[in-house]
């Protein structure tokens, strides 16, 4: 864990759970997290990490309110470059290690694991092959990707002529146009690869 760049996360908190990805860019991933802070530490201490920048704490009903951070770890950025996989929250960092779930086409997962192996060799990898009839290509997409794709179809983005523009989608979803474009591009690439590999 020390060489992975995650060890400094365990100074302020004993456990961190990434609940959701709020936005992605070439510079990093804005994430919603929950932390079990050690005595004397708080959300601002996450910025002492090499790869995290604390942005804000959201109001919550319990002792661990959600926190917004910007993550620039190479593995987080690398996951953006793999359009045929989805990193599925929630996933956790703790003293026991890191637990991450991926979904996607086999070639994409294999490529991502090769990169992860260079950054932080995993102790174990569990592969579950989901049958098309039972699951289908929907589960190749992350929740945020699926939300954007559904909206695009429902609002007529793929119609000719278009029923909605990227700008209108951006306003309705309260999401940057670049983020919507990235979600759609990655989803399209993933689904086309899935069709070809399963034909």
Distance in angstroms (rounded) separating the CA atoms of residues 36 and 5: 19
Q: Do residue 27 and residue 102 come from a single domain?
A: yes
Distance in angstroms (rounded) separating the CA atoms of residues 29 and 51: 11
Q: Do residue 103 and residue 158 come from a single domain?
A: no
Q: Do residue 181 and residue 103 come from a single domain?
A: no
Q: Is the residue at 129 inside a domain? A: no
Q: Do residue 75 and residue 146 come from a single domain?
A: no
Q: Do residue 18 and residue 114 come from a single domain?
A: yes
Listed residue (19, 23, 68) closest to 175, CA to CA: 23
Q: Is the residue at 40 inside a domain? A: yes
Q: Do residue 160 and residue 103 come from a single domain?
A: no
What φ, ψ does residue 22 adopt, rounded to 5°? -90, -35
The total number of structural domains in the chain stands at 2
Q: Do residue 68 and residue 146 come from a single domain?
A: no
Q: Do residue 52 and residue 22 come from a single domain?
A: yes
Distance in angstroms (rounded) separating the CA atoms of residues 154 and 186: 18
Q: What are the beta bridge partners of residue 18?
A: 33, 91
91, 108 contact by CB (below 8 A): no
All residues at 6 or more sequence positions from 45 whose CB lies less than 8 Å from its CB, including other chains? 11, 12, 37, 54
What string of pLDDT tens digits covers the 199 residues of the chain?
444 556 777 789 888 888 887 887 878 888 888 888 999 999 999 999 888 899 998 876 566 778 999 988 877 776 666 767 777 777 787 877 777 777 777 777 777 777 777 766 666 666 665 554 445 677 778 888 888 888 898 888 988 888 899 899 988 888 888 888 888 888 888 888 777 776 6
pLDDT on residue 69: 92
Of 70, 88, 119, the last residue of a domain is 119
Around Cβ 75, how many Cβ atoms within 10 Å? 21
pLDDT on residue 6: 64
C-alpha distance from residue 35 to each of 50, 54, 57, 94 (Å) = 17, 12, 11, 10
First-to-last C-alpha distance (Å) of the chain: 40
pLDDT on residue 39: 93
The burial class, CB within 10 Å (0-12 / 13-18 / 19+), for 115 is: middle
Q: Do residue 88 and residue 151 come from a single domain?
A: no
Q: Do residue 11 and residue 83 come from a single domain?
A: yes
pLDDT on residue 128: 60
Give the domain CATH number at 157: 1.10.10
Around Cβ 40, how many Cβ atoms within 10 Å? 7
């Amino acid at each position: 864990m020390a060489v992975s760049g995650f060890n400094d996360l365990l100074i302020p908190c004993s456990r961190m759970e990434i609940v959701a990805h709020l936005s992605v860019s070439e510079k990093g991933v804005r994430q919603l997290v929950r932390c079990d802070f050690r005595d004397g530490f708080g959300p601002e201490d996450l910025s002492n990490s090499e790869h995290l920048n604390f942005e804000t704490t959201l109001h919550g009903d319990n002792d661990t309110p959600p926190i917004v951070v910007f993550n620039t770890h190479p593995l987080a950025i690398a996951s953006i470059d793999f359009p045929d996989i989805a990193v599925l929250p929630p996933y956790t960092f703790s003293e026991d290690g890191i637990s991450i779930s991926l979904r996607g086409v086999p070639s994409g997962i294999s490529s991502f694991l090769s990169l992860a192996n260079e950054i932080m060799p995993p102790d174990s990898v569990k592969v579950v092959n989901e049958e098309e009839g039972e699951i289908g290509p929907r589960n190749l997409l992350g929740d945020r990707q699926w939300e954007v794709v559904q909206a695009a179809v429902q609002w007529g983005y793929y119609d000719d002529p278009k029923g909605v523009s990227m700008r209108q989608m951006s306003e309705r979803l309260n999401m940057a146009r670049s983020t919507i474009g990235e979600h759609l591009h990655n989803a399209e690439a993933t689904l086309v690869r899935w069709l070809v590999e399963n034909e």
